[in-house]
Structure 1
């Protein structure tokens, strides 16, 4: 069904990045990165005169195409590279960038722990396209002191010893993924590994022994199995989790980061598994099925919050699920009292407030709960599974989810979506 409400589709860029290959020299005491990245990309439907990328706080030292120096400009976190000649529609080429920087965010250096890790903003350590609808494969190499271990997205490749005594760790992400789920962590980690079916589960931390790591992450396999069942899509590859110095938690492609403090909390109270489940749920809702633009961010975060509650219902019982629902409802009522409640689909997502994030995370989850009540479990889960399977590896807008749920229900859900997704909503 065509919606009367705009869906705010992502704008066209004129090109499609197909692959990134990056090598990073990481100086943890200095908090500095030096890198070289080669981007392979294709022009879309018209000749492409320049490449426009996000570059954060990075300083660009050079840009080349087939060994020839290119002109470039950098301003307001954007990098514009003028190609040697306009790239004809459908043609591919490569551009290599050399750069350095001390980013204030996105790449976190915890010098006191001899640790470095990423948080969301890939363009702070590699010039790239930040938009969630841009998917590409990745080759990543990290050059680090030999005493450090590292984990990153993709399949680990053999490392090699450098002449200066450091080690170059390498990975290849062979499935195209949005750039914001690229990342890594490195430090003097202890490491535990467990087999789970055809997959291996890897755990890393500075402060936790391997037995403690297995205790912290004991429920990981059950989470992956539960989400795979609800999605109708098996988890693919190894899954890695690391406890780092400080983070609210981050999902990446096959890798999740949480804080050492969170790991300690789980050891003290093994029921405190919500954050771990949230990041695991993103492996399907967020990574494999991704919002086409941040205006539809609730399709990532509202889904991960709701699926966390669904797993808690499965693992800890109905009371745990209802506690989550009550929390969402309380947060939405607080927004309404402040006058900051709004529709789930945003006209833009340029400077989201804390209240905007509450809409996306907590209200988004509550709306999924209300839809579950509206449809009943059999229809709801069948529709969600069909939606996830149909859009695996793709970018979506809210209308895609509506269409899948309408197909499962066998009727229009326009009134529900107009009220709760495109409107502020009714009584909670």
Structure 2
């Protein structure tokens, strides 16, 4: 995900700890969300059922709700007291829960999002942009994983792409269509999302699944051309991760976005699609978002202070893909760019450790540390360990943490196990500090 503009909208401060996340007292198991989307008016009405387990004695459910207006909270049809403040929704449960007990809360709400959900009436298009809590009350923190049942109520003539598997749609009494999607693998809420418009759609078989491409401004032939390398990318990342890609993979070009990975879905801009058609070598963003399907989605940082485990990895794996597909010069060009940016950070005193204690409203320089220094450090670790040990360690790290939330120490331990020696000096200089001699 290229969050260089919007990350600060949803990144939250968490104290660095062994677990990275602050205890909540509950664990969300499942969301079921229905959205009525009015593209012309740029507004929504929604209902979300939240199913959760208490992990400690619990009397309140606290969710992120952005700028949504909550109209009602109920349990088994009975109203619950709730309050909203500072983007948080606090619901008083019907009765306190003991650890291990489970419950559900039904929420009804509306909103006219300023961000998080983008409406493009001229294109009859709507799509998500990062901040899930702006269209459904949920948990923003990356360590919280849950399944999702999503229903999108839209006018006829639109096609949707969303996270999970497509379920049969149905026509509503008013003539609109309810598009239904089910995400069966628990995923962090920040990788939920969708896009809808009268898209052209191309699908191609890949392995046991299908590749899907969507756009308004591109022909079917152009879609096939600009996403031609997708299957090979997924195979390359799967081999490096030691984990096969699971299910279908969807990519859509929307009116404007800096690019976002979601669970089995990536969004890029129409302008970027035009760029790739003009120069087939400009596939870096496609690769970056595809790499996130492993490093970011399946293996997710436990807190934003370990965000380099998502973004530094995706940047590095993009370069590894370019090395594989375009040759050593393409890889070295990216490495040199990272090194130059890190040198500039150091010259202005803006270099920081990769593990942040206070990742909240990152500056452009802060983001450069996570994205570019993070990738550069992985390159230096590759040189330190050599090809066989480095890639074996990366595979073992990815396999061991599939479906889990990780902290930086998890990666260090995996690489030390592969190397058969301590890497503390390397991590102290490059990851936890601002040392490390540039080439």
TM-score, with normalisation over the residues of structure 1? 0.98
**Is 1:235–2:253 an aligned residue pair?**
no
Query: How do residues 191-230 of structure 1 correspond to structure 2 at under 5 angstroms?
Result: 191-230=201-240
**Is 1:164–2:174 an aligned residue pair?**
yes
Once the two structures are TM-superposed, the CA of residue 233 in structure 1 deviates from its matched residue by 0.2
State whether residues 47 and 87 of structure 1, in contact with CA within 8 Å, keep that contact through their aligned partners in structure 2.
Answer: yes
Once the two structures are TM-superposed, the CA of residue 6 in structure 1 deviates from its matched residue by 5.6
Once the two structures are TM-superposed, the CA of residue 425 in structure 1 deviates from its matched residue by 2.4
State whether residues 7 and 398 of structure 1, in contact with CA within 8 Å, keep that contact through their aligned partners in structure 2.
Answer: no
Deviation digits for residues 343-399 of structure 1, max 9, x if unmatched?
Answer: 000002111111111000000000000000000000000000000000000000000
Aligned counterpart for 2:126 among listed residues 112, 116, 119? 116
Aligned counterpart for 2:80 among listed residues 55, 67, 70? 70
**Is 1:251–2:265 an aligned residue pair?**
no
Inter-partner Cα distance in structure 2 for 1:36 and 1:22: 6
1:35 — aligned with what? 46
Aligned counterpart for 1:177 among listed residues 182, 187, 190? 187
Inter-partner Cα distance in structure 1 for 2:236 and 2:243: 11
Inter-partner Cα distance in structure 1 for 2:435 and 2:202: 46
State whether residues 19 and 302 of structure 2, in contact with CA within 8 Å, keep that contact through their aligned partners in structure 1.
Answer: no
Once the two structures are TM-superposed, the CA of residue 338 in structure 1 deviates from its matched residue by 1.6
Deviation digits for residues 120-163 of structure 1, max 9, x if unmatched?
Answer: 11000000000000000000000001111101000100000011
Q: How many residues align?
A: 423
1:417 — aligned with what? 427
Aligned counterpart for 2:20 among listed residues 9, 13, 19? 9
State whether residues 232 and 389 of structure 1, in contact with CA within 8 Å, keep that contact through their aligned partners in structure 2.
Answer: yes
1:351 — aligned with what? 361
State whether residues 8 and 295 of structure 1, in contact with CA within 8 Å, keep that contact through their aligned partners in structure 2.
Answer: no
Query: How do residues 16-31 of structure 1 correspond to structure 2 at under 5 angstroms?
Result: 16-31=27-42
Q: Residue 196 of structure 2: SS of its match in structure 1?
A: strand
1:394 — aligned with what? 404
Gaps of at least 5 residues in structure 2 are 1-15
Question: Once structures 1 and 2 are overlaid, which stretch shifts more, 381-390 or 107-116?
Answer: 107-116
Inter-partner Cα distance in structure 1 for 2:380 and 2:325: 21
State whether residues 194 and 202 of structure 1, in contact with CA within 8 Å, keep that contact through their aligned partners in structure 2.
Answer: yes
**Root-mean-square deviation (Å):** 0.9
2:301 — aligned with what? 291
Q: CA 1:376–1:241 in structure 2 vs 1: closer, same or farther (change >3 Å)?
A: same
State whether residues 119 and 125 of structure 2, in contact with CA within 8 Å, keep that contact through their aligned partners in structure 1.
Answer: yes
2:272 — aligned with what? 262
TM-score, with normalisation over the residues of structure 2? 0.95
